[in-house]
């Protein structure tokens, strides 16, 4: 199950941040980052639900001190839905979210399709997703309940095979 393994297969040296599967014991740290990152944070129950899904990919980046960021992605039929990505405010813009996304793509495998919703005002996140090839395809009007902001819907489709 996604929430029960803490394996690390990054092969990184001691002291450097490592990417690994989230485990239930990470949830206090996840919630602390979540509350500092979002106007309407997820509840503990929401994270427990996502960690309990065997088909999900829930990743964390940590160093010897603490969890620095996390990613939650659920699979629905043949589409991966990127649900949540957050990095501790003091560690943002250091490549952590990029590393999490790269690991997601590795674990989901080639040919995977992805979708996500992001606040229309979150230009930093939108730019990162676009760097990975996500493209905007629509809006969800008044998606965010705290302020009625729209969500931008983005998709990443696998590259079409090139015919000779």
Task: Clarify whether 129 is annotated catalytic.
Answer: yes
Task: Clarify whether 117 is annotated catalytic.
Answer: yes
Pick the catalytic residue from 114, 117, 143, 163: 117
Pick the catalytic residue from 34, 50, 70, 129: 129
98 within 8 A of 124, measured Cβ to Cβ: no
Active-site residue numbers? 117, 129
């Amino acid at each position: 199950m996604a929430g029960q393994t803490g394996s690390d297969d990054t092969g990184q040296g001691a002291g450097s941040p490592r990417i690994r599967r989230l485990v239930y014991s990470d949830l206090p740290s996840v919630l602390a980052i979540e509350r500092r990152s979002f106007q309407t944070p997820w509840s503990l129950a929401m994270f427990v639900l996502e960690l309990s899904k065997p088909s999900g990919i829930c990743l964390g980046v940590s160093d010897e001190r603490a969890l620095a960021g996390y990613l939650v992605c659920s699979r629905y039929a043949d589409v991966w839905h990127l649900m949540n990505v957050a990095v501790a405010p003091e560690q943002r813009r250091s490549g952590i979210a990029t590393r999490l996304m790269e690991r997601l793509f590795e674990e989901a495998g080639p040919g995977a399709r992805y979708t996500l919703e992001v606040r229309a005002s979150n230009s930093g996140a939108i730019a990162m997703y676009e760097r990975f090839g996500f493209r905007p395809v629509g809006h969800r009007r008044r998606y965010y309940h705290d302020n009625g902001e729209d969500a931008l819907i983005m998709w990443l489709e696998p590259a079409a095979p090139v015919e000779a």
